[in-house]
Amino acid sequence: MEVLVINGSPRKDRGATGGILSPFVEGMKEAKADVDVIYSKGLDIGDCRGCFNCWTNTPGKCIQNDEMTEVLAKIADSDILVLATPVYVDGMTGSLKSFLDRSIPLLHGRFELRDDHCRHPRRAHVKTEKLALVSVSGFTEMDNFDSLIHHMKALSKNLGCEFVGSLLRPYAWMLDPAQEQDAPVSDILESIKQAGYELISEGTMKEETLATVARDIIPREEVIKMMQGYFGDK
């Protein structure tokens, strides 16, 4: 099983996204997946120019000859694509969005009707079967992930793959080992790893596993106080 993970956080492995990806990837590897992690921020790629050459003059190829050529081949070869991002202004990070804009050479330009909806057929060499979302937020409520989930479900349909669920952790900065003395989170970290294992071994992540990952750590009034202490009124 080939898994390609795109980490969209500009903070890469140092960030909260990287913090939950680490046990998640460990779980997937334990289930014998071959996992590759790419950072959208570090890629040397330009923004999509909107020229549609990849659908007309150079089918399947972007006219920008940059690192995206290699990454598109990796996406096409993956069985599972995991898109990971912190919530940024109620959506994904800019670098991940730019990255996804550059993925359209994987599709044909023509329209077809699928599920009574206009979509682009994907190219024959694309074997990606499943797409999963991994996300972290600063705020405490789960509805902060709603726009992202909506986006990922739509993207999965347009890419012609199955959306297999979302691993979500609100106020994810609480998972920092420095916080652990006051509020133990080892069950959360264990469940993140378990979710990775389940995704590979069962093709999906169990609801109870995801619920443990997203569980309350401290009351949100305390979260607000902590943030007041951290950011103040500066």
Ligand X SMILES: Cc1cc2nc3c(=O)[nH]c(=O)nc-3n(C[C@H](O)[C@H](O)[C@H](O)COP(=O)(O)O)c2cc1C
Whether 127 contacts 81, CB under 8 Å: no
* Tokens encoding 81: 């694509």
Q: Does 124 interact with ligand X (rule: CB under 6 A)?
A: no
Angstrom distance (rounded) from CA 128 to CA 126: 6
Q: Does 40 interact with ligand X (rule: CB under 6 A)?
A: no
C-beta closer to ligand X: residue 14 or 32: 14
Angstrom distance (rounded) from CA 128 to CA 1: 11
C-beta closer to ligand X: residue 17 or 128: 17
The correct pick among 24, 88, 99, 197 for binding ligand X (CB under 6 A) is: 88
Q: How many CB atoms lie within 10 A of CB 202?
A: 11
C-beta closer to ligand X: residue 11 or 123: 11
Residue closest to 80 by CA, chosen among 208, 207, 170, 202: 202
The correct pick among 3, 4, 16, 100 for binding ligand X (CB under 6 A) is: 16
Angstrom distance (rounded) from CA 8 to CA 82: 11
Tell me how far, at minimum, the Cβ of 20 lies from ligand X, in Å. 9
The correct pick among 139, 158, 179, 190 for binding ligand X (CB under 6 A) is: 139
Near ligand X in 154-193, by CB under 6 A: 172-173
Angstrom distance (rounded) from CA 5 to CA 42: 14
Q: Does 89 interact with ligand X (rule: CB under 6 A)?
A: yes
Task: Point out the residue whose Cβ comes nearest to ligand X.
Answer: 15
The correct pick among 43, 48, 132, 136 for binding ligand X (CB under 6 A) is: 136
Angstrom distance (rounded) from CA 37 to CA 115: 32
C-beta closer to ligand X: residue 54 or 217: 217
Tell me how far, at minimum, the Cβ of 93 lies from ligand X, in Å. 8
Angstrom distance (rounded) from CA 42 to CA 4: 16
The correct pick among 9, 78, 95, 98 for binding ligand X (CB under 6 A) is: 9
Contacts of 72 (CB under 8 A, 6+ apart): 62, 102, 103, 105, 106
Partners of 36 in beta bridges: 4
Angstrom distance (rounded) from CA 157 to CA 113: 12
Q: Does 98 interact with ligand X (rule: CB under 6 A)?
A: no
C-beta closer to ligand X: residue 11 or 206: 11
C-beta closer to ligand X: residue 47 or 90: 90
The correct pick among 98, 103, 128, 144 for binding ligand X (CB under 6 A) is: 144
Q: Which residues bind ligand X (CB under 6 A)?
A: 9, 11, 15-17, 86-90, 136-139, 144, 172-173
